[in-house]
Structure 1
């Protein structure tokens, strides 16, 4: 499969999964702050890793991720109706911590700048 086609499928899957999570899933365990950051579909279109970023405390993140994993069959069925692919990929939900890691690195850099500024005075 050509790389541009793979990227188009990944992006279309990301949009549709995000729409399904926001509009169609009615599970009360899913918090309002769920963001689909990335989707990686395998070359044979059998599996799709869906990376989600969750906002909240650890308990709410865990319950939301469990609810999303539980609703992966529903998401797969909806994807099959919305996107015309030879195979509808099996959905694998993964937690994406890159936003929190970026915030942590930014905080560390800010502390270093403050320390350097304080040492220069």
Structure 2
């Protein structure tokens, strides 16, 4: 079964509303540079999970998470004003793991590249264990055997 198209439209709309409201600012000094990356709404349209990232240090991430938790009611009210739905979905802010995953993947790629360079260096110095060409060649006929 496919995803509920109404839930997808509602999720996109919630993402826009929350991002616009955060761009205008919230009167909480703990809030850092927050980016809304994704919103997922349940099939019954009652709950929205808002995924976000914070640019900065771990302390700024913790402070921004606390600020978003404190502003959840105000942001839900803002979402309710701008949506034409009977019930406003509850909001849950979840830190997105994309930056950490991307950093981990970058580290793995760097490590693989380093190992490739080491293997190429070893291969350039390698010598054959036997003959250079180990394949059996057909016998060459002598001129007297004709």
User: Structure 1-normalised TM-score?
Assistant: 0.90
Shift of 1:26: 2.2
Q: Deviations over 1:41-70 (max 9, x none)?
A: 122222111111112111110011011011
Which residue of 2 is the match for residue 100 of structure 1? 100
1:76-109 deviation digits (Å, cap 9, x = unpaired): 0001111111111111111111222112112211
Instruction: Kindly report the root-mean-square deviation, in angstroms, between the aligned alpha carbons of the 2 structures.
Output: 1.4
Hey, what does 2:62 align to over in structure 1?
A: 62
Greater relative contact order (Cα < 8 A, sep 6+)? 1
Structure 1 runs (4+) greater than 2 angstroms displaced: none
> How far apart, in 1, do the equivalents of 2:72 and 2:25 lie?
12
Q: Distance in 2 between matches of 1:86 and 1:53?
A: 30
Q: Does 1:89 align with 2:92?
A: no
Aligned partner of residue 43 in structure 2, secondary structure: coil
- Name 2:4's counterpart in structure 1: 3
Which whole-Å CA distance do the structure 1 matches of 2:87 and 2:73 have between them?
A: 14
- Cα distance, 1:89–1:35 mapped onto 2, change above 3 Å: same
Q: CA deviation at 1:118?
A: 2.8
**SS where residue 87 of structure 2 aligns?**
coil
2:29 aligned residue: 28
Distance in 1, matches of 2:79 and 2:26, equals 13
**Corresponding residue of 2:45:** 45
Identify unmatched segments of 5+ residues in structure 1. Answer: none
Partner Cα distance (2:99, 2:10) in 1: 24
* Contact kept? 2:7, 2:45, Cα under 8 Å: no
Given the two structures, how large is their TM-score scaled by the length of structure 2?
A: 0.76
Correspondence for 2:126: none
* Uncovered stretches (5+) of structure 2, i.e. residues with no partner: 122-146
